[in-house]
Amino acid sequence: MTTLLEKAGLALLHRIDPERAHHLSLLALRSGFMPLPGPVTSTRLATTLAGLSLPNPLGLAAGYDKNAEALPALMRAGFGFVEVGAATPRPQPGNPKPRLFRLTEDQAVINRFGFNNQGAEAIAARLAARPKGVPVGLNLGANKDSTDRAADFAQVLTICGPHVDFATVNVSSPNTEKLRDLQGPAALTALLQGVMQARAALPRPIPIFLKIAPDLTPAEIEDIADVALETGLSAIIATNTTLSRQGLSSIHKDETGGLSGQPLFQKSTRVLAQLFQATEGRIPLIGVGGVGNAEQAYAKIKAGASAVQIYSAMVWQGLSLVKEVATTLDQLLARDGHSSIQTAIGTESHLWL
């Protein structure tokens, strides 16, 4: 539950520019003054994902700690795993500001950052210095002005791969022009083959995940499922932000960029369930999009997710949300007679079709 101190901090952050508030929250984490619970776990919550041992199935989605600056604290924040990035081969400033908007009435966020980050080399140095603990992964991106975006993903993996536990190929951000074109079967297969070659040259092989968009047709989902199984992907993250603006009421609803938060829950969970059916449960799925409480995390699991990620909900509920969701999820699993998360995965996927 959000503490009075955390509520006061969130109220203060909401009075300033969203991107500045984002940076201040990272600074507060790095300061070491925030009380952190450490990984939350139980016999029901402990699980494996693509060979990785997780204390619980709740992860931090990419985009919050783009440059791996607050990893020691985030690894003690209660998450079962943490994803940082996206990283591109060369540093880039991203899109012009303002590029982050709170849609308070909708409990949503719109961003059009455009892969702003300090570059793979700087991020690799921080990843190499991180403490041991929960699994840490990196979201791979491509430079906006790259002449070979597919090669960028492999390059970032080559630089950072020795220092992470998994890597995610991000071809689903709506904020880099034509990036989503790489989700087509031929382009995606070629891109993933290049990434797999880069993985083979690492000191140790790591799981490779793929993050997809929620704005896909059933036929496109089937194509991605086929490519994932053919190329040996370890997991699929469903989903990234959406371009849809249906049902929004905030004054910022018409800003360009990707929408995350509560309005994304239904759409992303439906794609997740379709993907679970299309893959017949043969590849682990990570559900992300609109998770703001334990019931929604549980719904993602029952729709087909082996693990769940959160991010936008912390804008309103703070970092204490992590422990709250994990502990309540444990209670929900116990209530329904599950001795582990594994027996709950996909049990209600058919209800979303």
Residues known to be catalytic? 173
Report the candidate in 165, 124, 127, 170 with the shortest Cα–Cα distance to residue 149: 170
The dihedral through the CA atoms of 235, 290, 80, 339 has a sign that is: negative
Strand blocks (E) in the chain: 47-49, 52-54, 58-60, 81-87, 100-103, 108-111, 136-140, 166-170, 208-212, 235-238, 258-261, 285-288, 307-310
Residue 118 Cα distances to 66, 91, 155, 179, angstroms? 8, 4, 15, 20
Question: How many whole angstroms separate alpha carbon 153 and alpha carbon 330?
Answer: 36
- Residue 285 contacts residue 210 (beta carbons within 8 Å): no
Tokens of 267: 């759409």
